[in-house]
Amino acid sequence: MGKKVVKKRQKKLVEKVDGLGPKDLKNIRTALRNVWQYSHPRKLCIARATREDGFAVCEKCKTTVPKVYADHITACGKVDGGFIERMWCSSL
């Protein structure tokens, strides 16, 4: 019974990288996405897509949609050295 506890503890230590485990990386990613939600580049992107009548036009397929969602064409991916650069990329 004592061996199982040791194995579980070792497994948790193996999952952590530089002191950050999967849960920590998920929390960091969520916090950065929340900041991006209120960022100036995102607001500019939504304003550019929204027409005077309140509807928006999708930049990718050019269809009219009632509500616009700003997201990245290329996924931001994992939290690593280039995550922030991919998150706050140019909208043009």
pLDDT at 3: 55
pLDDT at 70: 74
Show the tokens assigned to 23: 């849960």
The answer as to whether 74 is a domain residue is yes
What total number of domains does the chain contain?
1
Asked if 50 contacts 68 with a C-beta cutoff of 8 angstroms, the reply is: yes
The answer as to whether 10 is a domain residue is no
The answer as to whether 6 is a domain residue is no
Helix (H, G, I), strand (E, B) or coil at 20: strand
Tell me the pLDDT band of 66, cut-offs 50, 70 and 90. confident
The answer as to whether 11 is a domain residue is no
DSSP string across 43-66: HHHHHHHB-TTS-EE-TTT--EES
Give me the residues paired with residue 56 across strands. 50, 65
The answer as to whether 13 is a domain residue is no
The answer as to whether 15 is a domain residue is no
The answer as to whether 92 is a domain residue is no
Q: What dihedral do alpha carbons 16, 22, 23, 26 form, nearest 10°?
A: 140
Q: 64: closest CA among 72, 54, 73, 76?
A: 54
Tell me the pLDDT band of 53, cut-offs 50, 70 and 90. confident
The answer as to whether 1 is a domain residue is no
**pLDDT, tens digit (0-9, with 9 covering 90-100), for 4-42:** 555 555 555 545 556 778 888 889 889 988 888 888 888
**For residue 70, what are the domain limits?**
21-87
